[in-house]
Structure 1
Amino acid sequence: MTETTSLLEQLRWKKFPVLNDGFVCLVDVMGDDSAVVQAARVSYGVGTKRVSDDRTLIRYLLRHRHTTPFEMAEIKLLIRVPMDCWRQWIRHRTANVNEYSTRYSEAIDSTQSTAPDAWRSQATQNRQGSEAPLSEQLGAQLTAEELQLQEQSRRVYEARLEAGVAREQARKDLPLSTYTEAYWKIDLHNLLHFLALRMDSHAQEEIRLYATAIGQQIVKPLFPVVWEAFEDYRMGGSTLSRLESGVIKRLIAQGAETKAAPPYSEADFLAVQDVTWKELTRCRERDECRDKLVELGLLKRVS
């Protein structure tokens, strides 16, 4: 048995828990790091046998966004996920999906529960995000109400079924916290794109937990060289737009003229900001540029 086969057998059907009753597990995989290399070097057949050359090529491909070779590998997963989280997930229309049918079978008798310390407040700067946790006193009340609502919804659903109501109609008042299951098959290129978006700190926490489990527990061991490049260039990397590059050039030139060393001040940044940002009271592009400069050590962090 080869090392790859042994690893596959260890991972296949192993359920990695997410949230209170969700999971992700590997059903099957086609290809590994060498499949990406082989696709890139199609004229070479099996490709080079030098691992160092394979690593260099994979890193070049990912760094320069040559995506086709990554489409030659595929992963099939079985997932259990709350329906509200699944709504975000299914928006990635680059996978093959077969979902558990509540027209054919009874809805899964499980719902996502929220711990008293896990309720989050609405973000003030991001209309679709959340931030600081709510107080545990309020959280305890919300959790108790959540449990009551979920139990009532399940009772109504089961009573409808007992009364002979069709499953397809009886389900309509089940909460979005109800779990569903699905097979999800996707090529490696589109999976990495999904993970880059959903593992990001700006993604909703619930789907971020699923993405992290898929990435760390399944993709990383199956595609270690690809994963290393993915972490370096996608998750840990940063890109600069033409406007952002212009800001950096002007900021450095201004510092050289005034003999000031970085990190520069907020006033310095605003003085060299792009002309299209100056008249805007709120500008997300400017905020993102500021964050990148802070990360690079060129700008002082504003408290």
Structure 2
Amino acid sequence: MRLPVDYPSDMAKLSGALSAVTGAESAVAFSYSCFFPADASSGQARTQLLGALLVPFAVIATSMIVWGASSNFYRVLSQADATLGLNTQLWVMHVIAVFILYPGWAQAALSVFACYKIDDGKTGLYAQNQKAAWRHGYWVRDMAQECYTGVHLRLYVPIGIASVIVLCFGPPLASFLLLWKHRAELGSKWVRQRYSFLYARYKPRFFWWESVLMLEELALVAVEVFGRGLKSVAHQILVLLAAFTFISAINMACSPSKLMVITKLEFMSMTVLSLTVSLSLFFVVDDGLSAADEVGGWTAW
């Protein structure tokens, strides 16, 4: 979640560099709308969305071309070439790339439905003068566009629905079906060479757990995307903490990893994240009543 925390500049640079390399959308590294500076806000929103959805496909295609060229002309992976054909190598690389790019795809797909309410037209000193009072809020990619009406409803909502089905739920489902199809052959050399990275680190009965991890990533991305619509940063933090707690509880209860040390490290990682987010509340929550005020209030009562 993009919390208003003053992170070190090195972290921002690293995040931007990794986003640029993987093709993930990043306002730190670049924005796709910068290629069309003359466009209005609606055109820039369209460019940003399509760029976030389509650039990862270009990244995968480029990676496959480079891999194929190196395998055919330079034979840099002679040992792999001896056991796996080029088509199989490209397929495995495609699967790995989808897993790497999955969070960025999910963020772009879900952002279609991310809206922010500005005014309600009822409260405030001059409620009658409030103009940005559309009941569904305004699209976070184009604050001039009302949500679920006009071009947003006709064009972007169908794109969002298709993207969520294909890009958000497609990879976890495909991973599960792929392993389920070969569940009786997971120990064979043929399957291990191609798909062991999906199940090798899990206990046999949890061979499908990689799909669960992708759904957990999807949950965190959903919190990040839709959390922008919450006006209170404290509420954003609380929702994120709830997601961290829920995911940690599932992982610890099931303990799917073969190595307990991996489970403990994952739990400690979530603990550090939870503590970091929790402590940030000191910088965003109002001071409220002082201890003396509270004591005085109780005394008066």
The question of a shared fold, defined as TM-score above 0.5 by the shorter chain, is answered with no
TM-score (norm 2): 0.24
TM-score (norm 1): 0.24
The answer to which structure has the higher helix fraction is 2
